[in-house]
Amino acid sequence: MPIITDPVRLGLVASLARPGGNATGFATQNDELPGKWMALVKETLPKVSRVAVLFHPTYDGGVQLKASEAAARSLGVRLQALKVERPDDLVTAFAEVRKSRAEALVVSSSPLFYAHRTRLIELAANDRLPTIYHQSGFVVGAGGLMSYGPDFHDLFRRSATYVDKILRGAKPGDLPVEQPTKFELVINGRTAKVLGLTIPQSLLLRADRVIE
């Protein structure tokens, strides 16, 4: 019973409402989040004009990039897309960010990025680049600046109810793939100070957690 971005697109289930087969789980709706990430960047840096985005096309087929491009256009921001397929691409991507003088960075959702989050955060810190991530694990205990995304602890708790239903005889294919209902905004105040960045009070008041 996995927790994944889009089980329909990946061919794991027939539909969210009626998965069919022997699979169900929880979708994270990552393709709907890029607009929120871009809006948070703009709110944090009102004068930002160029934002870079790291994306992993093999993971989601470029869906998050397309959503980021649409959000950037609506906010009047130029977007620099940087494709990353393997860990070695990260250094090249950050070199391109420096060359283009992007003022902020969005790291899209991908297991590749999460697995190499320590390296990503180091590279962003070296370039003093304000960066937003998809999971709180990039921020809490890791030192990233900001994250916004599904509360994975909530998803794991909810998955226990599905385990119970399946153990009681329910067929996985009859259980709809559920979507996240709880999202969290996490801000690292210490990282903001290191970057010389003042986080708007409007964001601090909305944050689920502020690390001081």
pLDDT > 70? residue 76: yes
Q: Which residues contact 35 (CB under 8 A, 6 or more apart)?
A: 67, 68, 70, 71, 74
**26 confidence band (pLDDT: 50, 70, 90):** low
Asked if residue 109 has pLDDT above 60, the reply is yes
Does the pTM of the predicted model rise above 0.75?
A: yes
Average pLDDT value for the chain: 86
Say which residues have a Cβ less than 8 Å from residue 17's Cβ, sequence separation at least 6: 176, 177
| Residue pLDDT, tens place only, 197-211 | 999 999 999 999 999
Dist CA 202 CA 187 (whole Å): 12
Question: Token pair 């209902």 is at which residue?
Answer: 181
Average the pLDDT over 93-106 and give the result: 96
- At 152 the pLDDT is 72
Q: Which of 18-22, 150-154, 185-189, 198-202 has the lowest mean pLDDT?
A: 18-22
42 within 8 A of 48, measured Cβ to Cβ: yes
Q: What percent of the chain has pLDDT over 70?
A: 81
Q: Is the confidence at residue 12, as pLDDT, over 70? A: no
pLDDT band for 174, please (50, 70, 90 cuts): confident
pLDDT attached to residue 157 = 73
The region of weakest confidence among 83-97, 133-147, 151-165, 191-205 is: 151-165
pLDDT at 170: 75
Average pLDDT of the segment spanning 134-151: 93
Reply yes or no on whether the pLDDT at 2 is more than 50. Answer: no
Q: What DSSP assignment string belongs to the chain?
A: --EES-TTTTTS-S-SS---TT---EE--GGGSHHHHHHHHHHHSTT--EEEEEE-HHHHTTHHHHHHHHHHHHHT-EEEEEE-SSTTHHHHHHHHHHHHT-SEEEE---HHHHHTHHHHHHHHHHTT--EEESSGGGTTTT--SEEEEE-HHHHHHHHHHHHHHHHTT--GGGSPPB----EEEEEEHHHHHHTT----HHHHHH-SEEE-
- Quick one: pLDDT at residue 1? 42
CB-based burial of residue 201 (10 Å sphere; 0-12 exposed, 13-18 middle, 19+ buried)? exposed
